[in-house]
């Protein structure tokens, strides 16, 4: 039997998944004891069931702890398999030891999820693909282009160019080229020791063209703003930005002040719901289809835009 439960990171998203699957959300208590410790009770029989726990791992740390404790509860209740469904995989940005005395946080999170007892992980648009290799269990990484590309096709104007905001996002941006039939430009930059960035050069032609910037996330928006300023200085006109995960730690004003006409994101991160000026695309249908395929033993890769 298929069962879907959720923690408190993004219950709206979990309800969307269940709505597409046409099943009720699993009954569970995910609360706190008086001293703040997390309390979890799964109030349904899940013996020999396939249990999917929908919970992102973004801060606060309780989100990660809820996921780990819910996995443990499901394993101890004799679930047949437990799948961690993580719409937004938090703690992904420290994915390598690039300086002295820094952690590899993404590897630590992977180890914790495995140790808790997850049999499989389902995510969308990891910050870097190498994170999949940190797990010894299967990881299915979904791509938001299934949800974002149709919306972009609706609003794109002629004479538009895809712009990657930095060199590390070129590969992510480039995979949208054939779906949108656009040429590609990118920003070459370097970061200093404090994590600040300096734009060095724009590669490609954006003069008198509209630009679309697509990335896996918008956090503060600083990287995108610097790319937009550089593109505008080189003659770019209308600006659209799109991202899988809309975090918006500094809100959207910085992007609007830089001349962005349209902001598009999915609803994988709960912060996206807080901004009325952001066009939110529901990605729960992608997860629901993937969950159905995993449960039925079918290929998940058929969901990808090839």
- Catalytic positions, written as ranges: 189
Order of strands across the sheet with 139-142?
Answer: 2-6, 50-54, 81-86, 120-124, 139-142
Cα–Cα–Cα angle for 54, 57, 62, nearest 5°?
A: 100
- Report helix, strand or coil for 228: helix
CB 206 within 8 A of CB 235: yes
Q: Other C-beta atoms within 10 Å of 192: how many?
A: 8
Could you tell me if 209 and 237 are in contact, meaning their C-beta atoms sit under 8 angstroms apart?
yes
The tokens for 126 are 């990891």
- The three-state (H, E, C) secondary structure of 81-147, written as one string: EEEEEECCCCCCCCCCCCCCCCCCHHHHHHHHHHHHCCCEEEEECCCCHHHHHHCCCCEEEECCHHH
Specify the residue for token string 């791992």. Answer: 57
């Amino acid at each position: 039997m298929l069962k879907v439960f959720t923690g408190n990171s993004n219950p709206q998203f979990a309800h969307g998944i269940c709505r597409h699957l046409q099943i009720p959300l699993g009954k569970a208590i995910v609360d706190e004891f008086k001293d703040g410790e997390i309390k979890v009770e799964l109030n349904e029989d899940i013996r020999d069931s396939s249990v999917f726990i929908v919970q992102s791992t973004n801060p606060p740390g309780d989100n990660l702890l809820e996921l780990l404790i819910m996995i443990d509860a499901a394993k101890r209740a004799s679930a047949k398999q437990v799948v961690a469904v993580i719409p937004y995989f938090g703690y992904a940005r420290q994915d390598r030891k690039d300086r002295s005395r820094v952690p590899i946080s993404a590897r630590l999170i992977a180890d914790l999820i495995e140790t808790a007892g997850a049999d499989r992980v389902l995510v969308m648009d990891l910050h870097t693909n190498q994170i999949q290799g940190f797990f010894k269990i299967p990881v299915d990484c979904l791509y938001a282009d299934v949800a974002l590309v149709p919306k972009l096709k609706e609003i794109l104007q002629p004479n538009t160019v895809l712009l990657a905001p930095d060199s590390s996002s070129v590969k992510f941006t480039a995979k949208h080229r054939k779906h949108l039939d656009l040429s590609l430009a990118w920003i070459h930059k370097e970061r200093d020791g404090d994590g600040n960035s300096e734009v060095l050069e724009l590669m490609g032609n954006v003069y008198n063209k509209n630009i679309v910037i697509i990335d896996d996330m918008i956090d503060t928006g600083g990287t995108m703003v610097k790319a937009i300023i550089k593109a505008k200085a080189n003659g770019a006109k209308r600006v659209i930005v799109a991202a899988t995960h809309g975090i918006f730690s500094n809100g959207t004003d910085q992007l609007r002040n830089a001349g962005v006409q349209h902001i598009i994101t999915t609803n994988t991160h709960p912060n996206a719901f807080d901004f009325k000026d952001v066009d939110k695309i529901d990605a729960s249908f992608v997860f629901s289809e993937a969950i159905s395929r995993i449960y039925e033993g079918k290929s998940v890769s058929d969901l990808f835009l090839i």
